[in-house]
Amino acid sequence: MVNTKKLKGKIIEKGFVVEALAKAIGINKSTLYRKLNGQCPITIRDADLIVEELQLTTSEACDIFFSQFVADTRKRI
């Protein structure tokens, strides 16, 4: 499950607006809005392109694109 609140925050923090990010990753802005609002899934390809475009660290990407359950399991290991 994608943490869309963190993703939206990173988009702003990195100086982007949704329209510019959509263009940079090659999708329609309305499609990206739907993805950010949970109306359609963010694919692995989308995530890869977003991570690259926003220059997210591995930690930031994990916090955004992996569910709390994965993070909790990782902590127990």
pLDDT in tens, 7-46: 999 999 999 999 999 999 999 999 999 999 999 999 999 9
Residue 56 pLDDT exceeds 90: yes
The pLDDT of 57-65, averaged and rounded, is: 94
Sign of CA dihedral 71, 75, 76, 77: positive
- What letters, b where the CB count within 10 A reaches 16 and e where it falls short, cover 54-72? bebeeebbebbbbeeeeee
The pLDDT of residue 75 is: 53
Question: What is the structure's pLDDT at 72?
Answer: 53
Which domains, and CATH codes, for the chain?
Answer: 4-76 (1.10.260.40)
What pLDDT, on a 0 to 100 scale, did the predictor assign at position 23? 97
pTM of the predicted structure, to 2 decimals: 0.83
